[in-house]
Amino acid sequence: MEHWIGHADFSKPFIQEASLIMVRRNVPILGLPDLIINLDNRPAYIIELKTIGGPAGLGSVKGRDVLQAESYFHMMNYLGLNPRGVAIIKVIRGSDFRIINNIDIIIKQLEGGEDFVRLSKYVTIHRISIRGFDEFLRDVDYAIDYWLGLRNPKPSPSRGLCSGCEHRRYCPYSIVR
């Protein structure tokens, strides 16, 4: 497996959208973490920002978002950069909260050890539990099998996905016929 990171100046307080590339089974996987918070000239926390439409989604994170954030951690760890942790910050669209204006508050909350923190009625932080590298690679390989056409997709019936699907009228898993 190969890894690469684009230019990254870890002497700055943060880096926005540093390019990460992981090559697994000859499949390049690009990662663009929204923010890397640096402490002591080293990457400390990887932040993935998710903007949502309303307060209902503030309290949970989707599995695919967790895998995305976790992949950034493993990519950087593999490069020997050893970040301390990774988090998903959810912000309700239209709020005036800006991550780069609140770096100190975010660091304090992440170092506090809580898995879930509500910063305001518009913003939550979800600390991601990092699985072992081998377990992570099993999920990457499972996704690659789909991308390469080596397995069929797994049904994910939901009102949002099914309503836009071209197969909704005859799919046995559709919930919006």
The confidence score (pLDDT) of residue 113 equals 86
Centre a 10 Å sphere on the Cβ of residue 44 and count the other Cβ atoms it contains: 19
Query: Residue 159: pLDDT band by 50, 70, 90 thresholds?
Result: confident
Q: How far is the C-alpha of 107 from the C-alpha of 89, rounded, in Å? A: 12
In the sheet that holds 85-92, the strands lie side by side as 14-16, 35-39, 42-52, 85-92, 123-127, 116-120
**Is the pLDDT at 1 greater than 60, yes or no?**
no
Which residues make beta-bridge pairs with 167?
none
What is the three-class DSSP state of 153? coil
The confidence score (pLDDT) of residue 9 equals 85
| pLDDT digits 0-9 by tens, 61-76 | 999 899 999 999 999 9
Burial of residue 2, with CB atoms counted within 10 A of its CB: 0-12 exposed, 13-18 middle, 19 or more buried: exposed
**Is the pLDDT at 6 greater than 80, yes or no?**
no
Q: How far is the C-alpha of 124 from the C-alpha of 109, rounded, in Å? A: 11
The confidence score (pLDDT) of residue 156 equals 80
